[in-house]
Structure 1
């Protein structure tokens, strides 16, 4: 679970230049109107915003949105389940939190859920329900929830050679559960990464998403303390990390019920991570 994280700086630059020129042409005859049987063309679906690769082509890292573009904040929830926790789930331990998802819906709060592939396999109906709700977006939190560096809060470590396949396996688990259009965003288990890990994930095309506000909900028993920590840390463009794992973050739903109305009272608008990345336009 996440407590404090090592942070890495990634410089992300997005840019494009367009040029157009034309020559005069003879007038053309008007095109015939389409027949009744002609099917109207459908616009191509827009691709989710991502950041350009960082220095040396490494996977870019996003921590927060622009500070000066209005009071927006993204609540993110890690749906953690490690690959070897199946026996604990079979014994009754709950790694999901339906009540939290219901509260987000009740309060009309958009959110980004960083889900492990193993979680989607354990709770396919919930994964599908979250993934098909336009209020939410699902992003990748690895398949195994094994660490991508050593010395990461006691998590087992995935080998360097398997990092890319671990990410791809999670996306495959989402598809198997019926999740459509999972986002090209990845959160490192434990928030731990290094240059080597960023290099291994370059070919996946993901943007790594960290955060700038740690809620402290992992293993917490005091919802008031969690809420205070979030409220004290939020700034315009913030990304808040919380958890959607009932057994390991039992007071998150209660904390959300305090955080949401207070931030709205302060003038904040809740958005998904994709909106912050789109607004950043390379200024993350």
Structure 2
């Protein structure tokens, strides 16, 4: 059972298909990613922050929330950000049937495309969990699994303040890193507050922010 648990939560291994938690590069490029949403208010706020800093980001949205708030997703697309698939209803996709997995992923992809999104759609498993049927479905449909290598919210002592979140991200950043943050709900306000300082401090170190798709295109995949 321990083996199953370790595979399900691994950031750099899955049984089928391609999984990326960062890319191997010497170039100081980095991807800022956000999970969940869209949600009125928070969507507009993060769009404004990113516009002020003049950087793109990647948003892994859920289908259910895109159905509720399609204007938010449209605003993200119009602002030039990448949209990724974060499932329809945000379940733990570890012991799901193949058909249930297909429904979650395909329905959300269809919603993204119907909103006018034109680029490749990558997938991020809810909670980062995957085991058998999800990777198999993604492989058969040529969809890349995107995880992360920097997640400051994992640590309660870090997530307590925006300053600590910033310090953690800056300390852990490497060329080709993928940063995960949650800013769409009230519980994500501290992360939202950290975004401007994360961007500025990494820019000061010479980092350039790109979308996940650009990261995959510009570098060799690890």
TM range, smaller chain? 0.7 to 0.9
Residues 253 and 8 (structure 1), Cα distance of their counterparts in 2 relative to 1, 3 Å cut: closer
* SS of equivalent to 1:241: strand
Residues 95 and 116 (structure 1), Cα distance of their counterparts in 2 relative to 1, 3 Å cut: farther
Higher helix proportion, which one? 2
Match of residue 137, structure 1, among 82, 88, 111: 82
**TM superposition shift of 1:251:** 1.6
What's the C-alpha RMSD, in Å, of the aligned pairs?
Answer: 2.5
1:203 aligns with 140
Residues matched between the structures, number: 213
Residues 61 and 266 (structure 1), Cα distance of their counterparts in 2 relative to 1, 3 Å cut: same
Residues 253 and 80 (structure 1), Cα distance of their counterparts in 2 relative to 1, 3 Å cut: same
Contact 2:97 2:133 in 1 (8 A): no
**TM superposition shift of 1:115:** 0.7
Structure 1 residue ranges (4+ consecutive) displaced by more than 6 angstroms after TM superposition? none
Contact 1:100 1:252 in 2 (8 A): no
2:3 aligns with none
Which runs of 5 or more residues in structure 1 are unaligned?
11-53, 82-88, 151-157
Larger radius of gyration: 1
1:87-130 residue CA offsets vs partner (Å, 9 max, x unmatched):
xx9xxxx6944212210111111111111111211211110111
2:4 aligns with none
CA distance in 1, matches of 2:182, 2:144: 20
Contact 1:112 1:137 in 2 (8 A): yes
Trace 1:101-180 onto structure 2 (pairs within 5 A): 101-134=47-80, 136-149=81-94, 158-176=96-114, 178-180=115-117
- TM-score, normalised via structure 1 length: 0.68
1:119-150 residue CA offsets vs partner (Å, 9 max, x unmatched):
2112111101111222x110111111111115
* SS of equivalent to 1:186: coil
**TM superposition shift of 1:266:** 0.6
Contact 1:217 1:251 in 2 (8 A): no
- TM-score, normalised via structure 2 length: 0.86
CA distance in 2, matches of 1:120, 1:196: 24
1:6 aligns with 9
1:189 aligns with 126
**TM superposition shift of 1:80:** 4.4
2:45 aligns with 99
Residue 183 (structure 2) pairs with residue 244 (structure 1): yes
